[in-house]
Structures are given as structure tokens and as C-alpha cells.
């Protein structure tokens, strides 16, 4: 057999990497280019002209502004509810032993892999009884119900990686369990909390099933606003501009939490 030189193998890897990068980045480049182009005839402009009007239309459209604000509210409420509830539950699964602990833990995971559409009817009936249908809080609460199991799973792995001797030493020094979690454990698992928040963000930012079922007039997120923009005359430039703007919070979050996320994913618990 003819041997392939290391140089040829390196060139093959480089070509494959460049091809993958082009394949991945090309839709983003096309979307960015279209967001600055007039694609629908309007008074005073010509189709094909370069303009910032698409972005101005986003700011001037109350429905698009409201959808953007609703999606941000979903994420903030979701994270604010999920992590404080998931943290003590994950600590209990990682540190304590009780009857049925493993079965309960895996039941949480089984609940998370259930398709959300299966639970839309009972969730709608429950939320109707509580009077929180068609509200931002109702959608965020539905997101929390689905994010909680995976958040417990992620945090449990990070807490289990912290030596138990640290707990014992802190208790001998007079720390209570809540004070130990707040003062010592949280800094140790900061990367895990960042990964958990990132997953909560991803689910809430792109989720559409509950948003479609639980909203009629109020609380519509970005995904619903984008869907409503397609019609007989679709303004592709405006859609691409709105899509580009909707990607900015995720990019900012990734940049701000990049160090925690990189350390978190290296733990190998997810």
C-alpha cells in the first residue's frame, strides 16, 4: 500500500475544514447581505437598493419590538426560576441518599425527552385554570417545566465532581448547608451554572410549540413574529434583518460567558 505523507494528510484536513467553514458561514453571509437590501417595492425605494430601512422598520414596528422583548423576558424569567430550583435538587441527588433517588432522577430525564407537543393540552388546561394563558409569565413557566430536568442533570454532574471532603470541612468550620452552598459551592460550579443558563437560553429563545398554543394576542415571541411575516408579499429583507437582530443576544451571551462555557463543556458531564 502506498503511504500518504503527513503533508498531504494535513492539506486534506485543511481543505475539509475550509469546506465545512464555507458551508456553515455561507448562509449567514447571505442573510446579512439580504438584510441590507430592499426586497419589496416601497414608496421612495427601488428593489435591490442597499438600505438600513429594514432595521429601522424593526424598531418602528410595535409587533416586532414586542416579540423581541417577550423573548428576552422568557429567557430571564426562565433562568431566574430554573437555576434556584434546580440547584438544591441537584445537590440532593449528588450528595444525599434516599429511597428511590436514582429512579426519581431518571424519571426527570425521561420527562425531558418527552416531546413538548404531547403535553400541550394538559398544560393549556392547567394554565387556563390558573389564568396565565396568553401571558409572558405563562410561557416562561412552561419553559421552566421542561428546562428543570436537564438543569438538574447538568448541575448534578458538576456538584458530584466537587470532592465531598469540601462539604465536611465546611460543616466542621461551622457552615450551615445553605451558607456552604452560597459561599463555597457556587463559586466551584460557576461553569456548570453558565452551561445550565446557556441551555435554558437556547430552549426559550427558539421554542415555538408552547408559544403557538399558549398565546393568542399577547406574549408572542420572536419565532411567532417571524412566522407571521411570511405571506402573499413577503419582505425577505425585513425577515433577514429581524433574524440577524434576533441572533445578537445569543452572540453576546456566548461572548460574555465564553470562559465559563469552555470550562464547563470540558468537564464532560453533559
Query: Going residue by residue through the chain (270 aa), what tens digit of pLDDT does each one get?
Result: 445 567 777 788 888 888 888 888 888 888 888 888 887 777 666 777 777 888 888 888 888 888 888 889 889 999 999 999 999 888 888 888 777 777 787 887 777 777 778 888 888 888 888 888 888 888 888 888 888 988 998 888 888 888 888 888 888 888 888 888 888 888 888 888 888 888 888 888 888 888 888 887 777 888 888 888 887 778 888 889 898 888 888 888 888 777 766 666 665 444
The Cα 252–Cα 248 span in angstroms is 6
pTM for this prediction? 0.79
Cα 178 to Cα 19, 109, 160, 167, 186: the distances in Å are 51, 26, 17, 11, 11
The Cα 260–Cα 262 span in angstroms is 6
Q: Report the top-level CATH class of 62-266.
A: mainly alpha
Angle between helices 62-95 and 190-206 (to 10 degrees): 140
In contact, 155 and 88? CB cutoff 8 Å:
no
The Cα 260–Cα 74 span in angstroms is 22
Residue entry with cell 398544560: 123
Q: Residue 2's pLDDT is what?
A: 46
Q: Residue 38's pLDDT is what?
A: 81
Q: Residue 269's pLDDT is what?
A: 44
Amino acid at each position: 500500500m502506498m503511504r500518504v505523507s503527513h503533508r498531504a494528510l494535513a492539506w486534506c484536513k485543511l481543505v475539509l475544514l475550509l469546506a465545512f467553514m464555507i458551508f456553515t458561514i455561507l448562509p449567514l453571509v447571505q442573510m446579512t447581505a439580504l438584510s441590507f437590501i430592499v426586497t419589496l417595492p416601497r414608496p421612495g425605494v427601488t428593489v435591490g437598493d442597499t438600505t438600513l430601512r429594514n432595521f429601522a422598520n424593526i424598531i418602528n414596528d410595535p409587533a416586532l419590538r414586542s416579540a423581541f422583548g417577550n423573548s428576552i423576558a422568557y429567557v430571564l424569567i426562565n433562568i431566574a426560576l430554573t437555576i434556584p430550583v434546580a440547584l438544591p435538587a441537584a445537590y440532593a441527588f449528588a450528595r444525599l441518599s434516599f429511597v428511590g433517588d436514582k429512579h426519581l432522577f431518571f424519571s426527570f430525564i425521561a420527562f425531558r425527552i418527552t416531546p413538548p407537543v404531547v403535553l400541550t393540552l394538559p398544560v393549556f388546561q392547567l394554565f387556563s385554570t390558573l389564568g396565565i394563558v396568553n401571558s409572558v409569565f405563562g410561557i416562561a413557566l412552561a419553559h421552566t417545566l421542561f428546562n428543570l430536568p436537564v438543569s438538574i442533570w447538568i448541575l448534578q454532574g458538576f456538584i458530584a465532581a466537587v470532592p465531598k471532603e469540601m462539604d465536611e470541612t465546611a460543616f466542621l468550620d461551622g457552615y450551615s448547608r445553605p451558607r456552604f452552598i452560597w459561599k463555597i459551592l457556587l463559586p466551584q460550579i460557576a461553569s456548570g451554572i453558565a452551561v445550565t443558563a446557556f441551555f435554558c437560553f437556547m430552549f426559550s429563545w427558539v421554542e415555538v410549540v408552547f408559544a403557538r398554543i399558549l398565546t393568542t394576542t399577547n406574549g408572542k415571541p420572536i419565532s411567532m413574529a417571524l412566522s407571521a411575516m411570511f405571506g402573499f408579499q413577503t419582505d425577505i429583507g425585513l425577515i433577514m434583518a429581524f433574524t440577524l437582530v434576533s441572533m445578537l443576544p445569543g452572540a453576546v451571551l456566548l461572548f460574555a460567558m465564553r470562559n465559563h462555557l469552555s470550562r464547563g463543556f470540558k468537564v464532560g458531564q453533559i
